[in-house]
């Protein structure tokens, strides 16, 4: 008689998107997963509510499908054909006590040209002057090492100055991720900037030297920003369903101890959990507290 094979048990601490992706992939690798979340809901920065009969995302607002990791995740969970692209239209920024159109050539990774920004009055003349020095800043900046990372905010401040980071990129990329660009990874959240950062290439000069392209044939490109008809909760719900995990809400993990070749987790309700492995899908400060 063959002995039954033991399924590895894993506790994932934190049920935001990171924790849900970890649980999904662990389950597909054959693990028995328990998700422990301190709040009363899963999804973290993804939160969709009903308003006037429509699903409205009040946390993270969209998927940035220009990110290869985001595209892979949507494909992985079988939601490729459910993606709804953002409607074309004017993006407005609130600055200097009024709404102003987002200048042409500005995206979540920053500006590729400054002339439209000059006429938009989104930035001060001083800020524009600093931004115009980006080619020089690129030349003198230290390159991003292959195994290192920096924040989007820090990189843009070094290249363009603080105004570009605060007035142009934070309203776009910050709201997209429901976070602070000074805390967002350049490699994870603005992969198009990794090349210029690693090779000290100018973002503005790259735009000027890019060859002109003619009309293209074939299918239309995938939308850069997208969600789902019922909001981003569609993604988190699918991840949770696929993980088939035991979910413990409203319980914080206070500490993790090693017990031989297993781990014991102390939970805020007085319970203790044992597992073969633990994944801390928490901010660095939260993980440090658990491991202290």
Give me the pLDDT at residue 81, please. 93
Give me the pLDDT at residue 125, please. 93
The verdict on 134 and 197 lying in the same domain is yes
The verdict on 122 and 201 lying in the same domain is yes
Q: What is the mean pLDDT of the chain?
A: 89
217 domain-assigned: no
1 domain-assigned: no
The verdict on 105 and 34 lying in the same domain is no
Give me the pLDDT at residue 96, please. 73
The verdict on 109 and 149 lying in the same domain is yes
Give me the pLDDT at residue 212, please. 47
Residues of the chain where predicted confidence (pLDDT) is lower than 70: 1-5, 207-223
The verdict on 108 and 50 lying in the same domain is no
Residue that finishes a domain, picked among 145, 176, 210: 210
Domain range holding 236? 9-84+228-291
Taking the C-alpha atoms of residue 44 and residue 268, their distance in angstroms, rounded to an integer, is 19
Give me the pLDDT at residue 97, please. 80
Give me the pLDDT at residue 6, please. 80
Looking up residue 201, the CATH number of its domain turns out to be 1.10.3110.10
The verdict on 149 and 102 lying in the same domain is yes
Give the pLDDT confidence of 58-75 residue by residue, as tens digits.
Answer: 988 888 887 788 899 999
Give me the pLDDT at residue 229, please. 93
Give me the pLDDT at residue 223, please. 67
The verdict on 76 and 136 lying in the same domain is no
Give the pLDDT confidence of 132-144 residue by residue, as tens digits.
Answer: 999 999 999 999 9
3 domain-assigned: no
Give me the pLDDT at residue 234, please. 97
Taking the C-alpha atoms of residue 273 and residue 7, their distance in angstroms, rounded to an integer, is 16
Give me the pLDDT at residue 87, please. 73
Task: Enumerate residues 6+ apart whose C-beta is below 8 A from 10.
Answer: 26, 31, 32, 33, 34, 275, 276, 277, 278, 279
219 domain-assigned: no
The verdict on 54 and 115 lying in the same domain is no
The verdict on 13 and 78 lying in the same domain is yes
The verdict on 183 and 147 lying in the same domain is yes
90 domain-assigned: no
Long-range contacts of 276-279 (CB under 8 A, 24+ apart): 276/8, 276/9, 276/10, 277/8, 277/9, 277/10, 277/11, 277/31, 278/10, 278/11, 278/12, 278/13, 279/10, 279/11, 279/12, 279/13, 279/19, 279/22, 279/26
240 domain-assigned: yes
222 domain-assigned: no
């Amino acid at each position: 008689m063959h002995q039954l094979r033991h399924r590895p048990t894993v506790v994932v601490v934190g049920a935001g998107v990171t924790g849900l992706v970890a649980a999904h992939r662990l389950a597909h690798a054959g693990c028995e997963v328990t998700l422990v979340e301190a709040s009363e809901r899963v999804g973290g920065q993804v939160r969709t509510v009903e308003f006037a009969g429509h699903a409205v995302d009040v946390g993270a607002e969209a998927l940035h499908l220009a990110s290869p990791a985001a595209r892979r995740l949507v494909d992985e969970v079988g939601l490729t054909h459910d993606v709804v692209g953002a409607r074309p239209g004017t993006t407005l920024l609130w600055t200097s006590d009024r709404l102003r159109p987002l200048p042409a050539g500005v995206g979540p990774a920053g500006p590729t040209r400054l002339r439209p920004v000059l006429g938009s009055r989104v930035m001060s003349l001083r800020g524009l002057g600093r931004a115009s020095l980006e080619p020089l800043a690129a030349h003198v900046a230290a390159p991003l090492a292959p195994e290192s990372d920096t924040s989007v905010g820090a990189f843009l401040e070094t290249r363009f100055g603080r105004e570009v980071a605060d007035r142009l990129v934070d309203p776009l990329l910050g709201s997209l991720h429901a976070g602070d660009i000074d805390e967002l990874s350049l490699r994870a959240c603005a992969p198009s900037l990794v090349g210029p950062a690693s090779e000290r290439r100018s973002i503005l000069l790259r735009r000027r030297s890019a060859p002109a392209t003619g009309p293209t044939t074939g299918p239309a490109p995938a939308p850069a920003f997208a969600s789902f008809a019922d909001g981003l909760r569609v993604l988190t719900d699918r991840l949770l369903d696929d993980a088939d995990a035991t979910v413990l809400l409203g319980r914080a993990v206070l500490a993790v101890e090693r017990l031989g070749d297993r781990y014991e987790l102390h939970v805020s309700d007085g319970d203790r959990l044992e597992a073969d492995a633990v994944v801390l899908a928490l901010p660095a400060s939260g993980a440090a507290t658990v491991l202290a």
